[in-house]
Amino acid sequence: MDSMKNVSASLLFPIVFFAGCEKSGVETVTKNLPAPVKIELRSEEAQQVKTDQQFAFEFFSNVFDEEAKEEDQSFMVSPFSLSMALAMTWNGAAGETKMTMQKTLKMESYSDNDINGYYKKLKEALLKTDPSTQLSIANAIFTNKFVTIQPGFIKTNTDYYDATVQPVDFSLPVTKDIINQWAADNTNNLIKEVIDKTNAYDLMYLLNAIYFKGSWTTKFDAKNTSKKPFTTENGTKQTVDMMCQTTKFNYTEDETMQVVQLPYGNQAFSMLVLLPKSNKKQADVVSALQNKEYWGEIRAALHEYEVELYLPKFKTKYSKKLNEVLTNMGMGLAFSDAADFSRMSAFPARIAFVKQDTYISTDEQGTEAAAVTTVGMELTSMPAIPQKVVFNADKPFIYLIQENSTGAVLFMGAVKDI
């Protein structure tokens, strides 16, 4: 690719950094840590990672474009959380709905077992690769207790995604609290509210939560953090807490951007910072990432250099409804009355909304981040759920007396006449 011809060439020239940041002497956190557990992927799984990256960059690009048209503020999304939540939902889709969702996920050339097996393997492997980094990935499905859910759908999502399944009454106000509490419990209380209400027409809510807390392999010394200027793309100047350290990091650059890789813990996880060159903007970086081969070439070009690094401390909290983004990515059918989720329930249903809530905080010690993706399913025709029940024992009946905690039956009888 032409844009990458300059990657290695640019590294032949001296890299010039700002002066004034002392060489970092902060103790690393890796002394007694085991090496990262390498995640071994079959060739097909390695290809799935690439298609997952394509989905990630396209998703990010669409949100970036939407935000640029609106308030144009800082944001963060979790492509992995979204793709896992959509994959769980996709297990209930059929026909053209299934196909369009699969295509949006960039997984159209893979079988059901391939896709579900990929997410199962990746989820399990990610949790084991670095004991010094806190990572949790949790899935849950809250279903309408009055509607029969296809057992195959439940089995697939429990077997492959380890999803907890809880039937609830969506007509009760307390149900939203149950769902929100699950989100809080699985994000270290960083994300406490993902929905504000439920109603009787809801079929189910599918949720994925990711929580991450990692310490920099080489921490920033707080005494090197100082007030520095930060200039936004529209020219507004801000004063920020700028962290600073000089140490060896993986680095590369091309005509579009500089890239530095900041590892966490035992280096199983890292943050890659993509900084547009002086004549470029964020949109140019986002555009470059759309090329299928570009990111692989950037990653291959990363090599160790002594880097004088300036990075602002930052915190972002973000919430975004993704219906329009996913429709633009080709998944509109799933949101329409023509949607086919017959592998989920016999009753007609569609996706009411897909929403993502995220949080990230980065300082001298490391990064804490969380994301919850919520997929809300609603019935498009309501099954006959009686709002009022009449129980008229005007004919013979059976009765029993039980011990409630165990269900042990103490007495049982039949009334045939009075």
The answer on 122 and 233 residing in a single domain is no
Task: Determine, yes or no, domain membership for 397.
Answer: no
pLDDT at residue 412, rounded to an integer: 59
Does the residue 221 lie in any domain? Answer: yes
Residue 389 falls inside a structural domain: no
The verdict on residue 67 lying in a domain is yes
pLDDT at 115: 94
Q: Do 273 and 253 lie in a common domain? A: yes
Q: Count the alpha carbons within 13 Å of 168 in the hemisphere toward its beta carbon.
A: 26
Q: Which long-range contacts (CB under 8 A, 24 or more apart) does 98-101 make?
A: 98/340, 98/343, 100/330, 100/331, 100/332, 100/333, 100/334, 101/331, 101/334
Instruction: Answer yes or no: do 72 and 107 share one domain.
Output: yes
Domain boundary among 314, 342, 365: 314
Give the number of other Cβ atoms within 10 Å of residue 48's Cβ. Answer: 23
Decide which of 281, 297, 314 is a domain's last residue.
314
> What are the phi and psi torsion angles at 92 (to 5°)?
-100, -5
Regarding whether 199 and 82 lie in a shared domain, the answer is yes
165 and 60 in a single domain? The answer is yes
Residue 412, in any domain of the structure: no
Share of the chain above pLDDT 90, in %: 62
- 366 and 268, same domain (yes or no): no
Sign of the torsion angle spanned by Cα atoms 105, 110, 115, 121 = negative
CATH of the domain at 321: 3.30.497.10
**Spans in the chain with pLDDT lower than 70:** 1-31, 382-389, 391, 393-418
Q: What is the pLDDT of residues 96-108, one digit of tens each?
A: 999 999 999 999 9
197 and 222, same domain (yes or no):
no
User: pLDDT per residue over 13-71, tens digit each?
Assistant: 333 344 466 665 455 555 677 787 778 888 888 888 889 889 999 999 999 999 888 87
Residue 72 placed within a domain: yes
Last residue of a domain, one of 297, 314, 331: 314
pLDDT at 125: 87
Same domain as 194, residue 56: yes
Clarify whether residues 190 and 226 are in a common domain.
Answer: no
pLDDT value at residue 42: 85
Cβ(359)–Cβ(190) under 8 Å? yes
Same structural domain, 147 and 71: yes
Same domain, yes or no, for 186 and 222? Answer: no
| Same domain for 188 and 161 | yes
Please give the tally of structural domains in the chain: 2
Does residue 94 belong to any structural domain of this protein?
Answer: yes
Distances (CA, A) of 98 to 101, 179, 274: 5, 26, 35
Structural domain boundaries enclosing 306: 2-33+217-314
Structural domain includes residue 104? yes
CATH number of the domain to which 264 belongs: 2.30.39.10
